[in-house]
Amino acid sequence: MDDLGGLLELLPDARTPKSWVRGGDGLVGWGEVARWTGSGPDRFADADEWWRSFVAGTRVLDEVGAPGTGPVAFASFTFSDDSPGSVVVVPRVVVGRRDGHAWITEFSHGDGPSVVHAVDPVRPSGTLRYSDGLLPVDRYRAAVAEAVRRMRAGELDKAALAHDLIAVAEAPLDPRHLLGGLAERYPTCWSFAVEGLVGATPELLVRRTGDVVESRVLAGTMWAASPGEGSLGERLMGSAKDRHEHALAVDSLTSALAPLCASLDAPDVPDVLTLHNVSHLASDVRGRLDPVAPASLLLLAEAVHPTAAVGGTPRKVAVDLITELEAMDRGRYAGPVGWIDSRGDGELGIALRCAQLDGPVARLFAGCGIVADSDPDTEVREAAAKLVAVRDALEGD
């Protein structure tokens, strides 16, 4: 159909909007016709089975036939196997745009169209009060120091530790305000919203388009206040610590994907991704799935989550260390988030630069990859720089 304008501007109200938008393209949704919730180590496979069963029970008229058309669900999974709250939601209405083409998908039970709707004004956050989360800065610094000690003792190579911050408003927060602010500030990131988790991630965990699988690995970060000479990109490329951290993340991803692929390519040298306030080392990985039994998007996510970028190396040792040192439930922070269609295609990013909204309360998260050469004070400053992205968007007019 004709272009409808900005996708985020179509979201009608503050009741759990769904979004996966980057640079004006992507998907938004509202309403709900079905959902799956679950937890445990089999949550990806369970969600995949539920989604296949749901799709099999629908009658579809798809006049577009592109990825993201037909039945579409938005998904958000917890970081930890033991954490409750993984969810797959099927919206009543989805509006999409890709490469200049726009479309609407609507579920109908014979009760008339719901595409035409009034859009409630977006509510700014107003005055915010901040307080410590479950893991405040002083304990985060101590956790980083202990992780470094164990790495230098040879127990593991890397762990990605995070901490949280609480923001409280005087009235319920409108997720569209945070979503729009992040999309404006970070147009090259994927702006997402699923069940109150709102953020803008630069990291694509996995994309499936037919037999093609793609991923963008980010690991190794510098920000404007980082000490040193030269541009951020030059310092990143010349940093042995950041290059080592990045290599661990790329190896983690390719090792997990390789058994599911007929071919897989990763660059020998990373690029530099420059964002509004930080720069990352980035590698784009691309492969072709096993043609005999191509894995769906959710089963690909099961294989690769958590990568070394947000978990660590070795995976189990790192995740156990995260559980011990953070001593908090991350919820869906650093878990896969995105969308899937009826063909098993879709995109899942890693839920970074995000906040979980619950009425007037926002729980913000930020984390860093820790290796043996990490300095606890530097990692604290890096996490603070990453929190700026969400704080600025949450506070903006």
The DSSP secondary structure of 185-248, one letter per residue, reads: H-TTSEEEEETTEEEEES-EEEEEETTEEEEEEEEEEEETT--SSS-HHHHHHT-HHHHHHHHH
**326 in catalytic set:** no
Catalytic annotation, pick one of 18, 146, 170, 203? 203
18, 49, 155, 158: which is the annotated catalytic residue?
A: 158
Angle at 205 (CA atoms; ends 387, 334), nearest 5 degrees:
35
Residues 6+ apart with CB under 8 A from 364: 133, 164, 165, 166, 167, 354, 355, 387, 390, 391, 394
- Residue 9 annotated in active site: no
Cis before 306? omega within 30? yes
Say if CB 335 and CB 301 are below 8 A apart: no
Is 45 buried (19+), middle (13-18) or exposed (0-12) by CB count in 10 A?
Answer: middle
| Continuous segment of H or E residues that includes residue 51 | helix 43-56
d(CA 340, CA 319): 26
The set of catalytic residues is 158, 203
